[in-house]
Structure 1
Amino acid sequence: MTDTLTATARADAQPAPLLEVSGLVAGYGQGEVLHAVDLAVPAGSVVAVVGANGAGKSTLLRVLSGLLPAQAGTVRFDGDDLATARVEDRIRRGIVHVPEGRHAVAELTVDENLRLGGLWRGDRRELRADVDAAYDLFPALAARRTSHGHSLSGGERQMLAIARALVAHPRLLLLDEPSLGLAPRIVAEILGTLAHLRAERGLAILLVEQNVRSALSVADTGVVLNLGSVVAARPSAALLDDEQLRHAYLGF
């Protein structure tokens, strides 16, 4: 009896996840894309959402960032319900979304793009310090700080998109397909940076990625989506070891 009470007390003492999604339903028009999705992202962890094209991965991130309303279910961040929160309110709370596509404002310089990430912030000195920290994290951008967005390579634009998100002071980074179309060396550099951000800054990351092996190599947990439903949520190593699941849903 005592052991049971002790175990219960330990379970009760576990902190709630930073992000907790329960029964999430969402879609476009009359079409339902996500079907009762449950997932959790603990503070300071990397969770990879993997699955085939059309599984609903990008839709999930759009709902979490407020770009797409949920039709049902709950999204709680640090214990608070985000059902009616606007995109800008979620950013101020610490949820920052880097969409697929390596978006950079072509007419602005690298430095101007980075400062754009902190446009809502009032302390200019802290903003400048965070821009400088982004340059330390991505030295390739420091060398191009006066270059305009249209002149950057694909890898540099992806670095810029992530760096600009970091200037917004996220607690949770929603990252959509950061490796898409990039050379393996650049992919390894970006994923290494994500691991550094988790280890050194305690940043929580929800990573959507087609490159399953790479994603799971830096993630603590993997969530497999198939046609809008969660079919598995396990430690990353366990997913990689499950040959039947990999063949059925991940294509290797």
Structure 2
Amino acid sequence: MSDLLTLNGVSAGYGPVSVLHGIELAVPERSITAVVGANGAGKTTLLRTIMGQIRPSAGSIRMGGTDLSKVKVEDMVRNGLALVPEGRGVITELTVDENLRLGGLWRGNSAESSRTLAEVYELFEPLQNRRKSAGHQLSGGERQMLAIGRALMAKPKLLLLDEPSLGLAPRITAQILQLLGRLRDETGLTVLLIEQNVRSALSVADHGVVLNLGRVVAARPAAELAADTDLRHTYLGF
């Protein structure tokens, strides 16, 4: 299995404040990679750097043959990346249907977008009956489904998710994470997942990466990380 995304020696931060320090990371295609760590470890900064919202001060980020550090933020989706940010980012004034169609707007092919829309509704059955409901009328779980569905409308090769379980009940969290596994298995989607629920993230992931103070301290198969008692106690708090 080849790597879809690679980071080599990536450092980044906010102005003079350095957050990431020499990050080495590989995300194999058709897999789920979970990045875990304590608050302040640099997880969200990592996703923002990959998406071009923060430019690295050192190192390289490559997806396939493309150097992402040279791609404009607005062109990242065209290069096969989609981000579901923390807080879900649903446009609450728009309906479910309008939010989803907005996600596929840049593709310009109405027939293809309609097919993708039907696929998204099939994946997220609770949204079927809410397609005319405004975003503010949805539950937290429905909003998260909508945010992921809108990202999938762009037909990404790599889906980036920042804390998808935040504020959700455990049952809904389990449904969301199980869906990611289904997308990997049935569509070949590659997922890079930032998740506060470490146990759940490692249970669905193929690979795990532990960040601590902006540095990678472990990168192994997810099952191995979950079984490493010393590592869990030191960096993950369980």
TM-score bin, normalised by smaller chain: over 0.9
Matching residue of 1:204: 190
- CA drift of 1:89 comes to 1.6
Q: For the Cα contact (< 8 Å) 1:18–1:79, is it kept in 2? A: no
Aligned partner of 1:187 in structure 2 is 173
Q: CA deviation at 1:88?
A: 2.3
C-alpha distance in structure 1 between counterparts of 2:50 and 2:155, whole Å: 17
TM-score using structure 1 length: 0.93
Residues in 2 aligned to 1:197 and 1:246: alpha-carbon distance in whole angstroms? 28
Distance 1:85 1:92 in 2: 10
Shift of 1:132: 1.0
Pairing 1:232–2:218 present: yes
Q: 2:204 is matched with which residue?
A: 218
Aligned 1:65-84 pairs, distance under 5 A: 65-84=51-70
Matches within 5 A, 1:34-49: 34-49=20-35
Residue 172 of structure 1 is aligned with which of 135, 151, 158? 158
Give deviations 1:38-60, integer Å, cap 9, x for gaps: 10111101000000000000000
Match of 1:52 in 2: 38
Q: CA RMSD in A?
A: 0.8
> Aligned with 2:209: secondary structure?
strand
Residues in 2 aligned to 1:212 and 1:113: alpha-carbon distance in whole angstroms: 30
Q: Deviations over 1:101-145 (max 9, x none)?
A: 011111110000000001101210110111111110000111100
Opposite residue 31 of structure 2, the aligned amino acid is: S
User: In the aligned structure 1, how far is the partner of 2:174 from the partner of 2:226?
Assistant: 18
Alignment partner, residue 10 of structure 1: none
Question: Is residue 154 of structure 1 aligned with residue 137 of structure 2?
Answer: no
Q: Aligned match of 1:100 in 86, 94, 105?
A: 86
Gaps of 5+ in 2: none
TM-score for both structures, normalised by structure 2: 0.98
Distance 2:58 2:105 in 1: 32
Counterpart selection for 1:136 from 111, 116, 122? 122
Q: Within 2, Cα distance between the matches of 1:152 and 1:71?
A: 40
Matched position secondary structure for 1:114:
helix
Amino acid at match of 2:202: L
2:231 counterpart residue number: 245
Q: CA deviation at 1:214?
A: 0.3
Describe the SS at the equivalent of 1:83.
helix
Q: How many residues align?
A: 238
Deviations 1:146-204 (A, max 9, x none): 00011111111000000000001100000000001100110011001000000000000
SS at match of 1:100: coil
Distance 1:23 1:79 in 2: 18
| CA–CA separation in structure 2 for the residues paired with 1:192 and 1:83 | 32
Q: Distance in 2 between matches of 1:204 and 1:28?
A: 28
**In the TM superposition, what is the alpha-carbon distance from 1:80 to its structure 2 partner?**
1.8
Partner of 1:87 in structure 2? Answer: 73
- Separation in 1 of the partners of 2:132 and 2:22? 46
Q: Once the 2 structures are TM-superposed, how far is the Cα of residue 66 of structure 1 from its aligned partner?
A: 1.1
Which structure has the larger Rg? Answer: 1
| Amino-acid identity (%) | 63
Q: What is the CA–CA distance in structure 2 between the aligned matches of 1:27 and 1:140, rounded to whole Å?
A: 39
